[in-house]
Structure 1
Amino acid sequence: MLDKFRQAKQKEIESLRKDFMEGRVPAVYQNGRPSFTEAIRAKGPGAVIAEFKPSSPSQGVIREHANPLDFADIYAANGAAAISVLTEHVYFGGHPDYLFMMKGPGLPLLRKDFIFDPLQVAMTASSPASAVLLIARMFASAAELKQLVDLARMPGLAPVVEIFDQADLDTARQAGADIIQVNNRDLDTLTTTLNQSRSFIRQKRDGELWISASGVSTRAQVEEMAALGFDAVLIGTSLMRADDPGRLLAELTGRL
């Protein structure tokens, strides 16, 4: 699955490399980034990162004609600590411009995409994003991952390193990651189980920030993940499918 996603990004990376070789280097965003870590800690444990995700490989089109501007306002008004913004186009219906469109309410934005080239990090740094997702197993070694972790931190981006198994966690730690996102989805079957988070949280270390992603859809599950030690949960599909996303988010965040 990840190989398929990697292949889909090749055209984008080739375009970025062409721009770089011709001297068109994106300037770092200068209008300030709200701290992703501080926002999570202020509302954690169990802070909700609300995701804007129009489509997915497992669900197909989740919400037609979804307006990122509307969802940014809805998420900010109903207790989200941060917003996860899908920017991958082929499989998730996202676009990098959504980062600019969703910055208005002032919540930290996590750029969620398949990032494995330094120029992708540079492009992210030219946007209002406060954090960038790096998937541990998309890198051949901890040294390669560390390069992007360090590169992200230079312009003030928080590197969120996603893991699926123990080898991923080991790689993340070797790369110096301090924000760990446990993905509850099995990449082979595309099924989810919170047992993944229940198991891995036992390895959380002092000073680390942990996020449980995929499969959380009720307030009871948010409270369970918080009690286990997760600083935040990332919720996307259930919010995007909801008839009233604002009301559902208010329930998930405990406002209702």
Structure 2
Amino acid sequence: MLDKFREAKQLEIDSLQKDFVEGRLPAVYQGERPSFVEAVRAKGPGAVIAEFKPASPSAGILRDSLNPMDFADMYANNGAAAISVLTEHKYFKGTPDFLFMMSRPGVPLLRKDFIFDPLQVAMTASSPASAVLLIARMCEDVNHLAQLIEIARMPGLAPVVEIFDQADLDMARAAGADIIQVNNRDLDTLEITLDQARRFIKQKQEGELWICASGVSERSQVEEMASLGFDAVLIGTCLMTAEDPGAKLAELTGA
């Protein structure tokens, strides 16, 4: 699955490389970039990172007639500590423009995409995003991941490193990651189980911030993950498909 996502990003990377050679990369964003870590810790453990994604590879279009600005306000008003913004176009129907459209409420934004080239991180730094997702196993080795983490931190982006297994966690730690996101989806079967989060949280170390992603759709699950030590849970599909996403988020956050 990750290979097809990597392939889908190649045109974007080729374009960024051309811009870089010709000296046309955008400048670092100069506006306010609220702290992702501080926002999560303020509402954690069990803070909710509400996700905005028009579609997914497994479910197709999740919701028609979306206004990203309306969702940003809705999420901000119903207790979201941060907003995860899908910017991948082919499979999730996202765009980096969402990062600008959803920055108005001042809630920290996490750019969620398939990012494995330094120029993708640089492009993220030209947006109002406060954090960027880095998937450990999309990197060639520890040094590659460490480079992306370092580039992200320079303009003030929080690098969120996503793991699927023990090798990913070991690589993340070796690369200097201090924000760990456990994805509960099995990439081979696409099945989701919270047992993944329950198992990995036992390895949380002092000073680290941990996020549970995929499979949480009820307040009781948010509370369980918080009790286990997760600083935050990332919730997307159940919000995007809810009849009233704001009310569903208020239920999940306890707002």
- Work out whether the TM-score is over 0.5: yes
Instruction: Give the TM-score taking structure 1 as reference length.
Output: 0.99
Aligned partner letter, 1:10: Q
The Cα of 1:208 is off from its aligned counterpart by: 0.1
1:130 aligns to what? 130
1:225 aligns to what? 225
How many matched pairs? 255
Q: How does 1:159-178 map to 2 (within 5 A)?
A: 159-178=159-178
2:235 aligns to what? 235
Q: How does 1:74-223 map to 2 (within 5 A)?
A: 74-223=74-223
The Cα of 1:190 is off from its aligned counterpart by: 1.2
Q: Deviations over 1:61-101 (max 9, x none)?
A: 11112111110000000000000000000000100000000
Aligned partner letter, 2:103: K
The Cα of 1:191 is off from its aligned counterpart by: 1.2
Taking the aligned partners of 1:234 and 1:190, their CA distance within structure 2 comes to 17
2:40 aligns to what? 40
The Cα of 1:26 is off from its aligned counterpart by: 1.2
2:15 aligns to what? 15
Question: 1:51 and 2:51 equivalent?
Answer: yes
Taking the aligned partners of 2:65 and 2:171, their CA distance within structure 1 comes to 38
SS of residue matched to 1:233:
strand
Instruction: Give the TM-score taking structure 2 as reference length.
Output: 0.99
**Structure 2, unpaired ranges of 5+:** none
Q: Deviations over 1:169-224 (max 9, x none)?
A: 00000000000000001111111000000000000000000000000000000000
Taking the aligned partners of 1:33 and 1:239, their CA distance within structure 2 comes to 25
SS of residue matched to 2:83:
strand
SS of residue matched to 1:25:
coil
Taking the aligned partners of 2:250 and 2:191, their CA distance within structure 1 comes to 26
Q: RMSD over aligned Cα, in angstroms?
A: 0.4
Q: Deviations over 1:132-160 (max 9, x none)?
A: 00000001101100000000000000000
Taking the aligned partners of 1:254 and 1:24, their CA distance within structure 2 comes to 46
Aligned partner letter, 1:54: P
Aligned partner letter, 1:206: E
**Structure 1, unpaired ranges of 5+:** none
